[in-house]
Amino acid sequence: MAASNDAGVVVVFDFDKTIIDCDSDNWVVDALGASQRFDELLLHLPWNSAIDAMMGELHSQGKSMDEIAGSIRTAPLSRHVVAAIKTAHALGCELRILSDANAFFIDTVLAHHGLAGYFSEISTNPASVDAGGRLRITPHHDFRHGSCSSHGCALATCPPNMCKGKVMEEMLQELSVAAAAGMRRPSRVVYLGDGRGDYCPTLKLAERDYMMPRKGYPVWDLIAGDRRAVRADVRGWADFKDLETVLLDIIHECAVAAMVEQDGGGQVVVGMVVPECCALPAPKVAMAVLPKAIHASN
């Protein structure tokens, strides 16, 4: 049976420029005074390989893991993002991260802000510290033995080291199997992102799902370029206060939709009480069922 605290909503966050308001790789490189060298590496290396090489050079220059960790801990993270994460979790949503950053930077930021326990899964580029104390960053999908990606996606927006669309497909399949086995409720996925790499997973979402693109960023422009290609309900956000409001509105809407499905499609109006523990609670209002936009096939 599905757990009683399962809201039937899986919220999947990108990390860079979505949870934190910067690119984590650039933030660390800039903080450690290596911006020019990193730009030089990018002239002949893919991004993932360049950041690994950069960490090797910083280690050779005597930069310690404590210095690297200290730099990423200063990355900007809005209180509205913290509130959105805590409120969504308290409402029974499962939270995950799907990011082309790396495990060390993400884990360090989440631990620093007391958020590590809110996420059930983090899919990103692996990171480890070798015997010499040097940070190694490896690709999520291994392409190091060839010039092309190994993930098989032909979409130009996917970097060779990680196809988020492939990860999203695996995630959706996992959720479907678990629901069919009665281990969880059928899930609606809410995906938040900003970059070109967030477009491929957007295309994998179904009509019952939601995409939250950051307005004015690459994924917003890609979606706007061919809205019919995206089956999910698209809800943009402009700033982090907006992110919190839009996400909590979607969660309320999903609760309404779940009640309608449970009651056989009747018109139901419900209210969702937000736990008092959350720093910035959502409005305690009743929400009516909203009509879904008609999707035109390609």
Q: What residues form the annotated binding site for substrate?
A: 25, 100
The 3-state DSSP composition of the chain as helix, strand, coil percent (nearest 5) reads 40, 15, 45
* Alpha carbon distance 192, 170 (integer Å): 17
Q: Which of 14, 198, 209, 233 is catalytic?
A: 14
Say whether 16 is catalytic: yes
Known binding-site residues equal 14, 16, 25, 100, 194
What residues pair up with 271 in beta bridges, in sequence order? 286
The conformation of residue 227, written as its DSSP 8-state character, comes to: G
Contact 59, 34 (CB under 8 A): no
Cβ 149 vs Cβ 161: under 8 Å: yes
* 195/18 Cα distance (integer angstroms): 9
Are 200 and 158 a contacting pair, CB within 8 Å?
Answer: yes
CB atoms within 10 A of CB 113: 17
Q: Angle, nearest 10°, between helix axes 103-112 and 65-73?
A: 60
The Cα-based distances of 184 to 92, 120, 277 in angstroms read 12, 14, 25
Tell me if residue 14 is catalytic: yes
In total, the chain counts a number of residues equal to 298
- Structure tokens of 46? 């893919």
Which residue among the candidates 6, 16, 66, 249 is catalytic per the annotation? 16
Residues in the annotated binding site for Mg(2+): 14, 16, 194
Q: List the catalytic residues.
A: 14, 16
